[in-house]
């Protein structure tokens, strides 16, 4: 019987899949433990094991590493023990000096600074008034004063790990500097918040336009609502694709597409003040000029007088109806451009006068007459949404920084 000849190219067995390194496994374990403590504040080793799905020895070893790295500490609290209750357990929490984040709002009339710990609690807050319109030297002094004051008020008086700044002005996405554009109603000049905050922050400073932060806060709110309500009830939410039109003392727009704010090449996407629309007499004018023609600007400024505008559109008098018609016509022209260029699922209207019922009804009616009608709804977050967005981002960056610090520790 002939013997089969061996194949000239025998098939070699596949090598074993690459196994994760011990350092990687430890880093992932430590991340699970840190995130559990960030959410629950204090846990025993047994509770950490139950919360994370780790074994008790693995959770305990992670706690030992993190404590040695100065990221976790024994609180001194103990579980009841003895008489059938099992062994006494120690409670662990994040170390008190693990770090904080700074969230800042630079807005017309004031600078607000908040210090936030890794649990998401505000541990310090400062407000410093500024004039209108503001000059760079005014805002510089107010920003430094607010950062210094909130550092003194915080439980842990140390530099913040990170800072996030919301500014009521256009922001260069590369440098983080505030840019002065024609007819800007707030800051007259340019400003570098990262440079001003450098003495109070040990890590990076992120700066963005206030309307972008408000849109992110609105997005996060709806995401939380959808998670809680379920898919069926959340079907009418803006989701990850919407335009956020801010109507206040200033005018702005943020575009959220696929869950991300689209800032454009230089960061100036959404600056709609000079978008051409219909004026009160029907002729084409820049959006910002509509309020000058209606006599709704603050004295000596291009800033919109919100109180006067709300009063002008409220009621059944012919003058109020005329003001509503003019605003609906102007905002409708802006919406037509936004819809044509960005194709949002929904347009969200925010801002002090945009959220007024009489104004919102007028805008909804105008949107329904567009060649491409789009659903319009009022913003759900109306109390300082820009600061809320900056605060959430600052907390995320703080927690990420803490976890990265644990991964660099080899103990």
Alpha helices, DSSP H only, in 230-371? 287-293, 306-313, 318-342, 357-368
DSSP class of 75: E
- The candidate with the shortest Cα–Cα distance to 356, out of 287, 296, 306, 302, is 306
pLDDT in tens, 169-190: 899 999 999 988 877 778 767 8
DSSP class of 160: B
Contact indicator for 108, 163 with CB cutoff of 8 Å: no
pLDDT in tens, 5-49: 444 555 555 555 555 677 888 899 999 999 999 999 999 999 999
C-alpha pair distances (Å), 151 with each of 118, 137, 192, 228, 294: 16, 21, 20, 36, 45
C-alpha pair distances (Å), 320 with each of 24, 83, 154, 315: 66, 77, 48, 6
pLDDT in tens, 256-304: 999 999 999 999 999 999 999 999 999 999 999 999 999 999 988 889 9
Tokens for 133, please give them. Answer: 């319109």
pLDDT tops 80 at residue 227: no
Cβ-proximal residues to 137 (8 Å cutoff; 6+ apart), any chain: none
- C-alpha 362/C-alpha 354 separation (Å) is 10
pLDDT in tens, 120-135: 999 999 999 998 878 8
Cβ-proximal residues to 314 (8 Å cutoff; 6+ apart), any chain: 320, 356, 358
pTM of the model: 0.87
Report helix, strand or coil for 245.
Answer: strand
pLDDT tops 60 at residue 83: no
- C-alpha 144/C-alpha 165 separation (Å) is 13
Cβ-proximal residues to 57 (8 Å cutoff; 6+ apart), any chain: none
Q: Tell me what pLDDT residue 383 has.
A: 82
| Average pLDDT, integer, range 56-60 | 93
Could you tell me the sign of the dihedral formed by the alpha carbons of 352, 355, 360, 366, in that order? positive
Q: Are strands 284-286 and 122-129 parallel, antiparallel or unpaired?
A: unpaired
Return phi, psi of residue 163, to 5°: -140, 145
Confidence tier at 4 by pLDDT (50, 70, 90): very low
């Amino acid at each position: 019987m002939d013997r089969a000849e061996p194949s000239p190219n025998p098939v070699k067995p596949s090598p074993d899949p690459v196994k994760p390194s011990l350092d990687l496994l430890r880093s992932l374990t430590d991340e699970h433990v840190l995130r559990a403590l960030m959410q629950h504040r204090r846990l025993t080793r047994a509770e950490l094991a139950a919360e994370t799905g780790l074994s008790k020895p693995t959770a305990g070893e992670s706690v030992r590493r993190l404590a040695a790295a100065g990221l976790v500490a024994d609180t001194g609290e103990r579980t009841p023990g003895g008489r059938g209750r099992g062994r006494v357990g120690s409670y662990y929490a994040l170390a008190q000096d693990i770090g904080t984040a700074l969230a800042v709002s630079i807005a017309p009339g004031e600078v607000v600074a908040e210090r936030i710990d890794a649990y998401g609690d505000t541990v310090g807050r400062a407000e410093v008034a500024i004039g209108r319109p503001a000059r760079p030297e005014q805002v510089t002094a107010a920003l430094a004063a607010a950062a210094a004051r909130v550092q003194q008020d915080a439980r842990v008086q140390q530099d913040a790990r990170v800072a996030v700044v919301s500014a009521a002005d256009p922001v260069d996405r590369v440098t983080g500097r505030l840019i002065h554009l024609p007819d800007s109603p707030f800051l007259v000049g340019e400003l570098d918040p990262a440079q001003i905050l450098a003495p109070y922050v040990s890590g990076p400073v992120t700066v963005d336009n206030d309307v972008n932060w408000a849109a992110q806060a609105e997005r996060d709110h709806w995401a939380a609502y959808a998670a809680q309500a379920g898919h069926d009830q959340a079907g009418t939410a803006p989701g990850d694709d919407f335009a956020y039109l801010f109507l206040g003392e200033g005018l702005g727009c943020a575009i959220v597409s696929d869950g991300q704010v689209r800032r454009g090449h230089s960061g100036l996407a959404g600056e709609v003040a000079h978008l051409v629309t219909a004026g009160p007499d029907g002729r084409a004018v820049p959006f910002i000029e509509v309020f000058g023609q209606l006599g709704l600007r603050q004295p000596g400024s291009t800033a919109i007088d919100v109180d006067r505008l709300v009063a002008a559109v409220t009621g059944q008098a012919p003058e109020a109806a005329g003001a509503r018609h003019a605003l609906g016509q102007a905002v409708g022209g802006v919406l037509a451009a936004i819809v044509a260029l960005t194709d949002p699922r929904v347009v969200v209207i925010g801002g002090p006068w945009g959220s007024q019922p009489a104004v919102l009804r007028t805008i909804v009616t105008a949107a329904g007459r567009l060649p491409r009608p789009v659903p319009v709804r009022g913003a759900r977050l109306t109390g300082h949404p820009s600061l809320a967005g900056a605060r959430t981002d600052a907390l995320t960056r703080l927690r990420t920084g803490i976890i990265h610090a644990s991964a660099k520790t080899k103990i």
